[in-house]
Amino acid sequence: MHKIRQQIEEMTNQINLNLHRIDSKTLSLIDALMAFSTKENDYFGISKAHLYLGIVDVEKGNVNDGISQYIMALSYTFYEGLEALRPPVLNNLGVAQNIIGNHVAAIEHLSNAKNIINRYQVRLDLLPIIHGNIADAYLGIHQPEKALEYLDKVNEGIALLDYDKAYLILANYAEAYLQLKSPEKAFNYILWCEEVLNNRKYFSYLSYVDYLKAKYFELLHAYEDVEIFYKKAIDNQIKDSQLFYYPKISSDYMSFLMDHQKYEACVPFIKRSLELAKINHWDFIYSEYYSYLSECYRALSEWELAFNAINLYFEHNNKNKERLNQYQLNLLNAQESLMRLEIKNNMLTQSIENMKVVNNILKKINAVHNLNDLVKDLYIELKNIFEIDTFTIGLLEAEERKITYIAKYENDVYLGTSQIDYDNDKSFSVWAKNNLMPVIIHNADDFDYIKTHYAAIKLSREDYIKKGNYSKSIVIWPLMIEDEMIGLINIQALKEHAYNTYDLELIEMLSAHLAIALINNKQRNELNHMIEKLNELSFIDSLTGIYNRQAFNEFLPSLYKEAIDLKQNLVFAMIDLDNFKALNDAFGHQEGDLCLQQFGDLLKDVVGNLGYSYRYGGDEFSVLFMGIELEVVDSILEEICQKSSKMYTLDPHLTVSASIGAVFIENGDCADLQMRSFISYADNALYIAKSEGKNTYRRVIV
C-alpha cells in the first residue's frame, strides 16, 4: 500500500510541474493517474485526478464542467486520513463559483476550507490564498467592508511584496475602495498593482488594471477616459488571449454603454462577446449577455429582436439554474457521504435519513411553479422526517408592510392564506423579520424563556394563556438571499422539544434552498410578464396605440371562427380616412401622423372594450365586434362617422373624415361563408360609401 501511495505521489508531482501549461502531455499524465488510482482503489489518487481535471476544465473556460470535477474530488476527501485534500478542493470550488457569479456559494466553500485548515492544522500555506478569494467573493456581492477585512488578514499573515500573488491582493484592495467610492485610495492601489506587474513582467494582467482605471474614472465622471480604458482592457484581453477576466469586464462595459444610452454601440459589442462566449464555453455568461441585448433592442424599438433575445435569456437562465440545482444535489450527496463515514450514534443515522428526504424534495422545490402546491408538498414530505402539526411559508410584502402566509396547513387541514402587519408587536414572525434571526421555542409554556429571549415581543402572561391543543414547539426560520430576507418558513408541533439539533440544521438547509427557489419563481414570473408585454408590444401600432396589421392577421381568423362556433353576432367594419392624402401632400407627413394618432384616439374612445380596433395600413382601419347587439354596433359606427368629421381640420377647404363600410352577421349564421368573403363584403360596402360621398357609412347584412 505504501508503494502504491508513493507511486501516486510521484505522478502528482510530475503533473504539478506541467500544470502551468495545459497540453497533451499534461492530460496524458492526469489520465494515467486516474487509471492507476482507480485500478488500485486509492481515493487519494482519484481525488487528485478529479481536482486536476477540474483545473484543466476551468482553465479552458469550461467552468461548469470544472465544478462537477471538483465536487467529485471533494466526495473522495471524506475518507479517513484525507482531510488535507479537502481545503485545496474547496478553494478551487470557491474560485470557480466566483467566476460564474455564484459568490454566496463561493463564500460558503472557502469558509469551509478555512475552518478545516484551522480544525486539523493542515495546509496552513493556503490561508492567504483562501482569505484573498473570500475577499474576491465579497466584492462580487458588493460588501467592500467584509472584503477589506479579509484582505487585511492576508496582509497580516504574509509579507505582501514577497507574495507571488501580491498583484491580486492589490487589485482587490483597489476594487474595494472603488466600491466604497474612495477614488484616491483606490488609485494608489491601482498604481501600486501596476508597478508590481511591470517589475515582475506579468504583462498579461495589466488589462485588468486598465479595467480598474475605467472604474476609477467612472467615479470621477470622466466618461471619455472610462471608455478609453474599457476598450483598452478588452482589446488587450483579446490580443493576449488572456480571457479570464473578459466576462466580468465586458459585462461592466455593457452596463456602462447602456447607462449612457449608447445602445447602437452596445449591440455589436454584445454580439462579439456572445461569439467569444461560445468559443470559450462560457455557459454561465450567456443569460447576462442576452439580458443586455434584449434591453438594447427594446430601447431601439426592435421588438422582434428584443423578443428573441429575452427568449434566449430565459432559455440560458433556466439552464444555469438547472446546473446550479444539480451542483446542490451533488454537494448534498457528498455531505451525505461524509455523514455516513462519521456516524457515531442513532441520532446521526436519522439525520442521514433526513438528508435523503431533502434530496427527494429538492427537485420539487427547484421546480416550483405554484407556491400553494409547494407548501402542500413540503408539508406532506416533511411529516416523514419529524413532528409537524402546523406548516406554512410567509413572503415579505415590503410595499404593503405585511407578511403574507401563502398557504397554511394545520393537522392536515388547509387553512388558506393570512397576513401579519409589520407593526404587530406580538408576532414571532415579525420578530424574525426585524432581527433576521430564527425563532426557536422548545416549550411555549415556558413564558420566562420567551420573555428573556424575545423581549421585543409585547406579550403579557395573560396574552399567552392558552387552552386545548396548541403548538408547544415553534421554529420560524428566515429565508435569506445574501443579506436580504425575502420570507420565512414556519414549522410547529403540539409536543414539547419536537426538534433536535439535526432537525434544526435540516430546516436551515431547507430554508436556503427554498429561498433560492422562491427567487427563481419570482424571476420566472417577471420574465413571463416581460415576454407577454413584448408580445403585446409587437401587436401594437406604435403611432396610434391600437392593434396593427400583424395582430389583425394573427387574431382575426380565430376570432371569426369563435363567433361562428358560438353563434354570436358578428360585425366587421373597414374604415378609410377621406382627404388624408391631400393632407399629407399639403402639410407633410408630420401632420399626417398627428391626424392618424387622433383617429386612433377616437377609436379607443368610441369603441373601447366593446370591439377590436386595428390599423389596417396607411390611412385604413378596421373594427371587429363580437357578441354585441347589432343596434349598438350600428350606433357606434354612426358615432365614429360623425365625430371623425370634426376630428382634424387645418384648412376650411380640407377636412379629414372617415368613410365606413361594414358587414353584419346575426347570431353567427354564416357557417359556409369564408373569412375572405366576409372581409370582401365590408370592403365592398366601403367602396359604396366612398362612391356616394365622403364621411358616409354603409352596411351589408348577410
- Residues with a known catalytic role: 619
The position carrying cell 402539526 is 389
Q: What are phi and psi of 404, to 5 degrees?
A: -105, 115
What secondary structure does DSSP assign to 163-226, as a single string? -TTHHHHHHHHHHHHHHTT-HHHHHHHHHHHHHHHHHHT-GGGHHHHHHHHHHHHHHTT-HHHH
- Measured CA to CA, the distance from residue 380 to residue 389 in angstroms comes to 11
What are the respective helix, strand and coil percentages of the chain, to the nearest 5? 65, 15, 20
Residue 569, classed as helix, strand or coil, is coil
Residues 6+ away with beta carbon under 8 Å from 110 = 90, 91, 94, 130, 133, 134, 137
The position carrying cell 400583424 is 550
Strand partners, 393: 407, 489
Which three three-digit cell numbers place residue 333? 450527496
- For the beta carbon of residue 306, count every other beta carbon within 10 angstroms: 22
Please check whether residue 615 is in contact with residue 549, taking contact to mean a CB–CB distance below 8 angstroms: yes
Beta strand ranges found along 526-569 (DSSP E): none
Residue 687, classed as helix, strand or coil, is helix
DSSP secondary structure letter of residue 547: B
Please check whether residue 395 is in contact with residue 364, taking contact to mean a CB–CB distance below 8 angstroms: no
- For the beta carbon of residue 688, count every other beta carbon within 10 angstroms: 14
What secondary structure does DSSP assign to 588-651, as a single string? -HHHHHHHHHHHHHHHHHHTGGGEEEEEEETTEEEEEEESS-HHHHHHHHHHHHHHHTTTEEEE
DSSP secondary structure letter of residue 418: E
What secondary structure does DSSP assign to 301-361, as a single string? T-HHHHHHHHHHHHHHHHHHHHHHHHHHHHHHHHHHHHHHHT--SHHHHHHHHHHHHHHHH
The position carrying cell 487509471 is 35
Q: In Å, what is the CA distance from 110 to each residue of 87, 89, 105, 134, 168?
A: 8, 10, 9, 6, 17
Strand partners, 390: 410, 492
Which three three-digit cell numbers place residue 343? 456516524
